[in-house]
């Protein structure tokens, strides 16, 4: 479980509104297993002060949250993370990070409402943590890209090995990233936007 360290904030604040120069906004969601770096990615890429619902993990989480591979983790998201990034003068992305623990997955429906696509963040030390997440996205037919977060000393695999382990089709973009880096995280979001555009173009051509 987690102990409250600050007031939980839900929904954008007035200062997070669409910039005056922008003409359109797109909602995307960052998903993944527990401790894969979703909060880190939202914080690194956001141009505003991110909203967060992180709380300190306590001894009560023992036996509930699987800390294998992330034993040093001390904070956990219990509702959502929220950030904003301007892609250009006209397009703004609203970025929502989901909780990783399955006991908080009941929040997903609300977070995914109106979202055009998702980024699945993966940790190669715990690939199995992504299986259920990928399954849920495929069932809901939500377009997604997969980004492998490059943790220090994490095992390295080829794209072919990762695609086979995650059961990804050739069409789904797979890329490496460092969630701590703004530029790397931005590249992940741009990859998703390019993928969504290609899907829209293909559908429109039919």
What domains are defined for the chain? 21-205 (3.40.50.300)
The DSSP element (H or E) to which 55 belongs, if any, is strand 51-57
Report pLDDT for 153. Answer: 86
Full-model pTM: 0.77
Q: For helices 182-205 and 38-45, give the axis angle rounded to 10 degrees.
A: 90
Please give the chain's pLDDT, 206 residues, in tens.
333 333 333 444 445 555 555 668 999 999 998 889 999 999 999 999 888 765 554 444 444 445 555 445 455 544 578 999 998 888 899 999 988 666 666 676 778 889 999 999 999 999 999 999 999 899 989 999 999 999 988 999 999 999 999 999 999 999 999 999 999 999 999 999 999 999 998 876 66
Report pLDDT for 19. Answer: 56
Alpha-carbon span 182 to 50, nearest angstrom: 14
Given CA atoms 33, 12, 179, 74 in this order, what sign does their dihedral have? Answer: negative
Strands (E), 58-184: 75-86, 91-97, 117-122, 144-149, 174-177
Q: Do 56 and 75 form a contact (C-beta atoms < 8 A)? A: yes
Report pLDDT for 203. Answer: 72
């Amino acid at each position: 479980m987690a102990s409250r360290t600050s007031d939980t904030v839900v929904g954008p604040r007035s200062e997070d509104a669409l910039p005056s120069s922008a003409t359109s906004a797109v909602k995307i969601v960052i998903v993944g297993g527990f401790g894969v770096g979703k909060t880190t990615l939202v914080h690194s890429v956001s141009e505003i002060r991110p909203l967060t619902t992180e709380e300190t993990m306590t001894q009560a989480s023992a036996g509930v949250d699987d800390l294998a591979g992330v034993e040093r983790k001390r904070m956990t998201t219990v509702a959502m993370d929220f950030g904003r990034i301007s892609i250009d003068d006209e397009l703004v992305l609203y970025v929502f990070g989901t909780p990783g623990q399955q006991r908080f997955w009941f929040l997903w429906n609300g977070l995914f409402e109106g979202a055009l696509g998702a980024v699945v963040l993966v940790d190669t030390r715990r690939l199995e943590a992504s299986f259920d997440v990928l399954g849920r996205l495929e069932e809901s037919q939500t377009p997604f890209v997969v980004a492998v977060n490059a943790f220090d000393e994490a095992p390295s695999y080829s794209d072919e090995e990762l695609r086979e382990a995650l059961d990804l089709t050739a069409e789904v973009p797979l890329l490496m990233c460092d969630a701590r880096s703004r530029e790397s995280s931005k590249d992940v979001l741009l990859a998703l936007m390019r993928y969504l555009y290609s899907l829209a173009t293909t559908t429109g051509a039919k």
